Structure 1
Amino acid sequence: MNQLAKLSVTEAAARIAEGSLTSVALIEACLARIAEREPLVGAWTFLDADKALAEARARDAEAPRGPLHGVPVGLKDIIDTASMPTGYGSPIYQGFQPRRNAPCVDQLLAAGAVILGKTVTTEFATYHPGKTANPCNLAHTPGGSSSGSAAAVADCQVPLSLGTQTAGSIIRPASFCGVIGYKPTHDAFDYAGLHPLAPSLDTLGVFVRSFADLSVVRQALSVRPVATAVTLPCATPPRIGFCRTSLWMQGDTVMRSRLEATAQQLAQAGAELVEITLPPSFTELVEAQTLIFCAEAVRGLDREWREQAELLSPELRDLLAVGRKYTPDMEAAAQRVAQRCRTELATLFGDVDVLLTPSSIGEAPLGLARTGDPLFNRIWTFLHVPCVTFPIGAGPNGLPLGAQVVGPHGADDKLIAAAWWMQQHVSHKAI
């Protein structure tokens, strides 16, 4: 592999800005890696190498536009692009060409990024998988729904990709593929121009291989200005709430033992470790989140259901059939559960800086027909709080395991700095 393909976002941008690397050279390295690995990994649904190289030459001929100048980016294929087709993971939209870019695409371009192509998504970011395999072991799922985005970054095909999360579609595939996944506070990034699934849950996020990259990406994509960049881990050890949740025993034994070992490593490194037991009301969150997911998906996919239901997968038709059983009163009750728990969670964060909790049930499951269970992600997505995952070891098949770090609502910089410190004090780091 060309070593340039291994560069992080910040390393690549710094070298391009100082003139020791060209955007063309970097993108050529990424394209060579894709040509080698795409037949095996299948991370991409659309690539335009000629256009990417032309844009790279334009970036090399001008002064840096912003913090992502000359850096290649992959976009999950539910993000509208005016110069590339957007298929939403569905045969209904094969060859569909949006009229305009999603705002996040224009933000990336304004920051100097080069859009390399579109990465594979599951069908409408739900459960029916695409072609992508886990680059750590091709017989296993990469997770979903941001399958191609996670796999492309893990396989050094691109240093940065965008994904989305409605249940666990950033944190879980990042954990399965052994990279850093970041789901910001709900509505911190602009979700316009992305096919909606469940708007009260849908969140735009990113995959990278270095914590240093997260603040750079936040500067480019945040709806609200980011006052200061997080360029280092937090200076003092954080107060960490070890939060097993009521779901703990549904995780496999290797994941549980590895997360407990991680907690002890962090305590030995100087972190204050506090055992956190969530209030009883939190046991209602998974069921409530699932209800909202299904009910809002009925509205988000109403036209597709009415006009071309035969082109929806059986899994999606079943999900929408369930969603049609929920009444407005049931939805309102589920949202009240979330609101009550958000208030209670804010109180818990008075005692700790972040929560440490599982990213997934275990390592990536065998087979490509399913993308794994988002069980350990649902409640945090519903609570609208920011989450980061980073690798902490391997499961019984040698595949990555991740730790999920959860921060207070709106405290994304604090979360990133704390999680960065945590990563530096465990024995397994991002690939």
Structure 2
Amino acid sequence: MLSLLDLCARIDDGRLTPEGAVRLVRAAIAAREPEVGALVCVDPAPVVAAAGPLAGIAVGIKDIIDTADLPTRMGSAIYESWHPRADAPVVARLKSLGAAPLAKTTTTPFAFLDPTATRNPHHPGHTPGGSSAGSAAAVAAGMLPLALGTQTGGSVIRPAAFCGVVGVKPSFRLLPTVGVKCYSWALDTLGLFAAGVADAAHALALLADRPAIGRTHDGSAPRIGIVRQEFCAAPDPEAEAALGRAAAAAERAGAVVHDLALPARFGEAYAAHGTIQDYEARQALAWEYAAHRDALPPRLRAALDAAQGIETAAYDAARRTAHHARRSLKDVFSEDGPDVLLTYAAPGAAPAGLDQTGDSRFNRLWTLMGVPCVTLPVERTPAGLPVGVQVIARFGDDGRALAAAGLIERALRG
């Protein structure tokens, strides 16, 4: 994989020019894209900045995020010829930092469950996950050092786990979702993919203009609560094994690790996620549903059909349930409680076949809570498929989540 920090270091010390860094990416795309199918389009003549903290860094942009220089197709033929006039603020921020938004990466249609044709770089017969399929796969295949994605249920954390890269779902609204096709305004969260924790932390710190997020070597030994989310169906054995290995690595690195059972209120919030998501999707995609229902893919069409029957009272009750759980999460992260939580990033390795994107059951609650989450690759199955874990911190404590993930990453390598 391409390390963002390595490329930046080589550019800073003169071993590589920004234009040369983009050429490296183009060569990698030429070599891997025919096999992986992670990209919708590539800018044939991108502007490559000569200066800036991300000068020479080519970035993949999930194809529900507006770009002025490239079309934004939402993974749907409905928007086949759509070309925004403006960049989404997050893309404008990338450009201001010197980055080159080089390619649009594949997304499931409107970031829902109907799969893309993108293949897992580690095994072409397996899904890369979704909905940020192309972003995760492109970074995993070594085609891009950084890519943007979004998460409404598990669309950053899960594909990162399936593809064996670091994925970050920041605290809710840390990054602006203006210019991003909405599915659920209470849940949609911009995230990113990178080769390692330090790469991801550096990128997020720059995007959010919060330098402290990038300091992943803070020297502290965190208190880690192991959460198994008993209100969900059990994971596959390889996911449990990865969680155990990550916990053991954390202990070797000096962390204090203990099991933590979440109160019943969190199971209730988990169950409320779908009501909130679907009620809002019904409104966010009202035009597409009314004008182009037959052009919508089958899973999305069925979900929107069902969402027409969700009553406002049920939606309001679900929002109250989520609100109470968010308040209760402050008690979980109390002064005497854990600094971070460690749990499954996905039920197991990427499933076989390209007709699904996998299960987001270990992600939905944390998206609903709005807290920062980091996927960390841990091991591989005998078939070579990655398995990861997820590090979670309290709302607004993105740096702590990344620091704990960095500590575990270093311990696993040691």
What TM-score results when the alignment is normalised by the length of structure 1?
A: 0.93
1:29 aligns to what? Answer: 24
2:153 aligns to what? Answer: 167
Match of 2:328 among 337, 341, 344: 344
How far residue 227 of structure 1 moved from its aligned partner, in angstroms, is 4.7
Give the direction of change, closer, same or farther, for the CA distance of 1:257–1:211 in structure 2 (3 Å limit): closer
1:216 aligns to what? Answer: 202
2:403 is the alignment partner of 1:403 = no
- Can you list the C-alpha shifts for 1:319-353, whole angstroms capped at 9, x where unaligned? 11121111111011111111111111111112111
2:34 is the alignment partner of 1:39 = yes
1:150 aligns to what? Answer: 136
1:326 aligns to what? Answer: 310
Q: How does 1:368-383 map to 2 (within 5 A)?
A: 368-383=354-369
- Matched residues in 1 for 2:128 and 2:70: separation? 24
How far residue 261 of structure 1 moved from its aligned partner, in angstroms, is 3.0
Amino acid in structure 1 at the alignment position of 2:35: L
Instruction: Please state whether the residue corresponding to 2:161 is helix, strand or coil.
Output: helix
- Matched residues in 1 for 2:161 and 2:79: separation? 29
Q: How does 1:226-305 map to 2 (within 5 A)?
A: 226-247=210-231, 249-305=233-289
- Matched residues in 1 for 2:213 and 2:245: separation? 31
Instruction: Please state whether the residue corresponding to 1:95 is helix, strand or coil.
Output: coil
1:8 aligns to what? Answer: 3
- Can you list the C-alpha shifts for 1:271-300, whole angstroms capped at 9, x where unaligned? 101211100111112320011111111011
Provide the aligned length of Structure 1 versus Structure 2: 412
Gaps of 5+ in 2: none
1:74 aligns to what? Answer: 60
- Matched residues in 2 for 1:405 and 1:114: separation? 29
- Matched residues in 1 for 2:238 and 2:201: separation? 32
Aligned residues of 1:392 and 1:427 also touching (Cα < 8 A): no
Amino acid in structure 2 at the alignment position of 1:243: V
Amino acid in structure 2 at the alignment position of 1:30: V
- Matched residues in 2 for 1:157 and 1:84: separation? 18
2:192 is the alignment partner of 1:197 = no
Aligned residues of 2:253 and 2:407 also touching (Cα < 8 A): no
Aligned residues of 1:73 and 1:159 also touching (Cα < 8 A): yes
2:74 is the alignment partner of 1:88 = yes
How far residue 235 of structure 1 moved from its aligned partner, in angstroms, is 0.3
Root-mean-square deviation (CA, aligned residues, Å) is 1.4
Amino acid in structure 1 at the alignment position of 2:160: A
How far residue 229 of structure 1 moved from its aligned partner, in angstroms, is 4.9
How far residue 247 of structure 1 moved from its aligned partner, in angstroms, is 4.1
- Matched residues in 2 for 1:408 and 1:321: separation? 36
Aligned residues of 1:17 and 1:69 also touching (Cα < 8 A): no
Runs of 4+ in structure 1 over 3 Å off: none
- Give % identity: 41
Aligned residues of 1:171 and 1:404 also touching (Cα < 8 A): yes
2:20 is the alignment partner of 1:19 = no
Amino acid in structure 1 at the alignment position of 2:39: W
- Can you list the C-alpha shifts for 1:358-388, whole angstroms capped at 9, x where unaligned? 0000000000110001010000000000000
- Can you list the C-alpha shifts for 1:138-172, whole angstroms capped at 9, x where unaligned? 00000000000000000110100000000000000
- Can you list the C-alpha shifts for 1:200-252, whole angstroms capped at 9, x where unaligned? 00000000012222232223322xx4153533423022100011111465211
- Matched residues in 2 for 1:397 and 1:337: separation? 41
Aligned residues of 1:234 and 1:420 also touching (Cα < 8 A): no
